[in-house]
Amino acid sequence: MTSQFSNRPEPETLRFSYSGTALGTILVAESANGVVALFMGDERTKLERELREAFPEAKLLCDDAGLASTIAKAVALVAAPHLGTDLPLDIRGSPIEVAVWQALRAVPARETRTYGAIARDLPITATAQEVGAACAANKIAVAVPCHRVVKSDGSIAGYRWGVRRKRRLINIEGVA
């Protein structure tokens, strides 16, 4: 006997795991295509809640053993963001968000850009405020380096995972 719901696609499974870093706890979630989330915070329960809110249709599976290599690479990235990473990323967002995130990935390590400069260089029309909103919506910390974006006067502004973490990441990179 078949169910009347048999034509519904199965929910996507996202595997996730946690680790401690010098910047607090990280949660890394991975789809079949790559990392969809790298969240930073202080509490595992809050990070998992954020993951559930970001991917409400997904089935979440904690997989510490299966993600050991991914977690190790994420921890290394947080410790030395200027070295980059070869983690495969599954970047998901609106066209403006994806364009901003691709632009951010092109900002060289140890350099910063302003929100306005990122907006001017995009292949689509966007404002500095839209760049800021895309940064705030970024789900893949450090690998999509929103920490490299500063205000027009060079000062450090908001960061999804806290201004303190943003400042530390910029300092770790040795931005002049």
- Cα(87)–Cα(143) distance, integer angstroms: 8
- Cα(127)–Cα(62) distance, integer angstroms: 38
Catalytic-labelled residue, pool 26, 146, 149, 169: 146
Closest CA to 137 of 169, 166, 94: 94
Q: DSSP per residue over 12-80, as a string?
A: PEEEEEEEEETTEEEEEEE-SSSEEEEEEES-HHHHHHHHHHHSTTSEEEE-TTTTHHHHHHHHHHHH-
Compute CA distances 13 → 16, 30, 121, whole Å: 10, 9, 35
Is 135 a residue of the active site? no
Q: Which residues are catalytic?
A: 146
